[in-house]
Chains A and B, each alone.
Chain A
């Protein structure tokens, strides 16, 4: 059975030239980047090349890039590195963040920090005014995700960062779902900290980075050698970081309009073929690859399994440890009922998709939806 992948917001396949570089580095560049000798220097060179490419993707300076083990670590480093030991004891984030941010803030609360969770509107947009109303001279950190993983909506980060910084707060953005999908200019956005994850833009899993604006203070959260300017101890994963650098360069040069056209093809096809549905978060700026649809009267979980058995990988919500799914907190936050949230499916496209695949996906979704609705006690 042919398999088609439409879950690129969960993770992406590794691109061919990324894989080539990754394999080559794994085989040949085994030196420790901190070593003085030839082998060490080879690795160091690859590491710094990766840093330049990663910086370029974010329109940043290479000195502003701290490599991490991924998005979660980058977010945690940003949040705890700013708030632990901070005299300011208040922090602000939103209700639609990824667990990597939400659960870090929950930990801050346990450590005595007061946290304000900003709501969003029905499109998933957080208002800059809400940030202005929440911050005070006691606010140490404001953290707002750039693009949402489930809806794809893109926040007005520049406006919020400016507001936060007026009170002296540090502004962090979780950019894991934005980097590689839309242009990210850390200068224009005005962010102090910005987290990214390699595997969301066709690099391997296990590498990411935190942009730390020059001059922004950040306390290390793990201790060891003086790697990454003392901000992140631990021998660098050079092959994977080199691969992320290559993926960043690819993404920097990529044309996102092709993916956007495929997403629009999917959206129109579904709208044409299937009645009684709503598109979640479409009346807002959004990344070009994501489409979130609520199909009245179906169980999203059953739809995902049904499509999987037909060869299509899509997502219905955040997976928990046992593999079962709970209704998405993001969809609940935009005002969907539990049932609507559980009836929603996320399609996220990527480099490997094409028009023919999208056409087949539309057919499969229409068939699965009709089948599930025939059985549904709530769909009449």
Chain B
């Protein structure tokens, strides 16, 4: 009997193409699958003419298929558009309308790539999947627990978005790029003659062209026949003084400085958005600083749930440098309190929070 079948998630980009090529060349038995997640022909008013770097464009499927053909591996496009809209796009829109800043990549990982895709892979006979994510998985010999580590290339590390992966998911996932630098991956792709070796990295949120999420939300609501709710309201200071008006709370994120349209002596920042009253609260940079936070729906990855305080480095945004903190158990086992050594800027409800011990990813959750 031949080696066990492994499904490679192929997006048509350089990373997942390199994964497929590396595995094929080391003799793995692989099948390439591309997830069709979003129909780019929807919401035509957002069309930019620029397709590359956006998910599920015809070009990306073309590239993935071409790479599969060069590697002589079986290859299929699988359709998850319905699940993607339900589990990622709708919550994305909903979050903004409720004054939260969503992270769709995490939802996509939790509910599509490491859930639906894993199931699809098993359905076609592949117990394990491989993806082009930058992260590492190791198994603890003593406990048998799967642990996640940051990728060797710290600039590409994607553990922030992978913090929802559970033990059963980790047991069946391979991240072949976790030990490589991006430049090495490109070189591997070049050496193997992959046509996508010089392709640009994907940017922003894959289904939102040009990062214009407010435009996306307006267009999506219009397509759904849902009248865009009136989200215009007042801009107020932290002490409640009305200093201006805005055209929609969903256009503002915590920590934002530009685009307020209000002249002030000192720079103004968005401190919070209040969807109920449709108010955007602004203040000084100092007002953005927060000494602690609470995380909900905590997923313990490399260690079991803590029962006593533990030192950690905590990341509150993808680009945030993990800050020294103490994490403390609460009466609710699915929640932890995080006390930072130094106050952190723009702690945003609804964003993911990931706790590290050096490279080890301890746990991930959502900021309350």
Do chains A and B stick together as partners? yes
> Contact residues of A with B, CB < 8 Å?
298-299, 301-303, 305-306, 308-309, 321-326, 371-372, 375
| Bound-state Cα–Cα, A139 to B61, Å | 44
Interface status of B79 (Cβ within 8 A of chain A): yes
Could you list 21 A-B pairs, sorted by A, with CB under 8 Å? Answer: A298-B123, A301-B78, A301-B79, A302-B78, A302-B124, A303-B123, A305-B124, A306-B124, A309-B31, A309-B124, A309-B125, A321-B58, A322-B36, A322-B61, A323-B61, A323-B65, A323-B76, A324-B77, A324-B78, A325-B79, A375-B123
Q: Are B61 and A305 in contact (CB under 8 A)?
A: no
A69 to chain B, nearest CB (A): 24
Q: Which of B56, B58, B61, B123 interacts with A306 by CB under 8 Å?
A: B123
- 10 tightest A-B contacts by CB? A302-B123, A324-B79, A324-B36, A323-B77, A305-B124, A324-B77, A306-B124, A322-B61, A372-B123, A305-B76
Given contacts A323-B76, A324-B78, contact A299 B36 (CB under 8 A): no
Interface status of B122 (Cβ within 8 A of chain A): yes
A325 to chain B, nearest CB (A): 6
What A residues does B74 contact at CB under 8 A? Answer: 308-309
What A residues does B56 contact at CB under 8 A? Answer: 322
B40 to chain A, nearest CB (A): 10
B318 to chain A, nearest CB (A): 29
| Bound-state Cα–Cα, A324 to B60, Å | 13
- By DSSP majority rule, is chain B's interface helix, strand, loop, or mixed? mixed
Interface status of B5 (Cβ within 8 A of chain A): yes
| Bound-state Cα–Cα, A194 to B306, Å | 74
Knowing that A323-B65, A323-B77 touch, tell me 4 more A-B residue pairs with CB under 8 angstroms: A305-B124, A309-B5, A323-B61, A375-B122
Give the tally of cross-chain contacts (CB within 8 A).
49
B121's nearest neighbour on chain A, judged by CB, is A302
| Bound-state Cα–Cα, A326 to B76, Å | 14
Q: Which of B58, B78, B119 interacts with A305 by CB under 8 Å?
A: B78
CB contacts under 8 Å to A, within B103-122, are: 119-120, 122
A305's nearest neighbour on chain B, judged by CB, is B124
B311 to chain A, nearest CB (A): 40
What B residues does A299 contact at CB under 8 A? Answer: 120, 123
A321's nearest neighbour on chain B, judged by CB, is B58
B77 to chain A, nearest CB (A): 4
| Bound-state Cα–Cα, A310 to B79, Å | 21
Q: Are B79 and A326 in contact (CB under 8 A)?
A: yes
What A residues does B78 contact at CB under 8 A? Answer: 301-302, 305, 324
Q: Are B77 and A322 in contact (CB under 8 A)?
A: yes
A339 to chain B, nearest CB (A): 10
| Bound-state Cα–Cα, A299 to B81, Å | 14
B119's nearest neighbour on chain A, judged by CB, is A375
A322's nearest neighbour on chain B, judged by CB, is B61
